[in-house]
Each structure stands twice: as structure tokens, then as C-alpha cells.
Amino acid sequence: MTGAKPIVLILCTGNSCRSHLAEGILRACAGDWLDVRSAGSQPAGYVHPLAIAVMKEIGIDISAHRSKHLNEFQNLPIETVITVCGHADQVCPNFPGQVNRHHWGFEDPAQADGSDAERLAIFRRVRDEIHSRFTAYAALRRADWPR
């Protein structure tokens, strides 16, 4: 891809939490050489406020993100698709130019019950799990990236 950054599309069902957490983290650590996007198979229409809050805690602002349907990306040359929930993995189509596909499932923090503090703790745990996986992915990709 001459001059263009490879597009990495992160998918979940609602595109309200997990995919935005992953998009923000991957963009923060690899956005200079990867074009990172996210979408959902059944978009919720909003980014969950607790997802925005826990990302702010680690210095990543996702408040301008929006919930999008995966069909918005059907005509783009997606290099890598990463699904972060089982349903999205099952319904994920192939995209033009797609080379790689990964499935890394994470608990949906939007489904968490309990007090505000308990729900926030679940969002933080899922954020940290996603952070660990996606920073490792970025490091591996960077090691293979042409200099």
C-alpha cells in the first residue's frame, strides 16, 4: 500500500464499548502507522459514558467517537479485521483487500450489573484486558513494519 496506512477495523455488536476501547488504545500506540477504526453489526447509536470515562483515566479521549455500522466500511480496503465479541465474529463479512482476521473476545461491560462503583470496576478491568492485548498486538506489528 503505497503511502496509505493499513486499515485495522475493530468490530463488536453494539460498537458502544469494547470496540471503542480497543480503537482508542490501538490508535494511541500505533495510529502513526495504522489507520484504526471501529464499527458494530448492530450499532447502539452511542458510545457508553463509562467507556469514555475509563479511557480518560488513562489519557485517551474517545468522547468524539461515534457508533457506526460495519457496512460503512464495505468499500474500504480493510487490511485487518479484529472482532472483540462472539456475535460480531459470527456475522463478520469479508472486506475488500482483507488480509488478516483475529478474534479476541472480551466481556461486555455494558451488560454489567451492580452499583455504579461495581460497574466502573468492570469497565476498568475490561479496558485493562483490552489494553494488554492491543498494545502487545501493536508491538508485534511494529516489529514487522517496514522501516
Residues, the chain, total? 147
Which is the catalytic residue, given 26, 82, 85, 88? 85
Q: Tell me, yes or no, if 29 is annotated catalytic.
A: no
CB 55 within 8 A of CB 62: yes
Query: What SS3 class is residue 59?
Result: coil
Residue 56 Cα distances to 21, 60, 62, 64, 81, angstroms:
11, 5, 8, 12, 25
Which is the catalytic residue, given 7, 12, 21, 51? 12
Q: Tell me, yes or no, if 17 is annotated catalytic.
A: no
Rg over alpha carbons for the chain, rounded to the nearest Å, is: 15
Q: DSSP labels for 96-119?
A: TT--EEEE-----GGG--S-HHHH
Please work out, in degrees rounded to the nearest 5, the angle formed at the alpha carbon of residue 4 by the alpha carbons of 11 and 62. Answer: 40
Which is the catalytic residue, given 78, 92, 122, 130? 92
Active site residues: 12, 85, 92
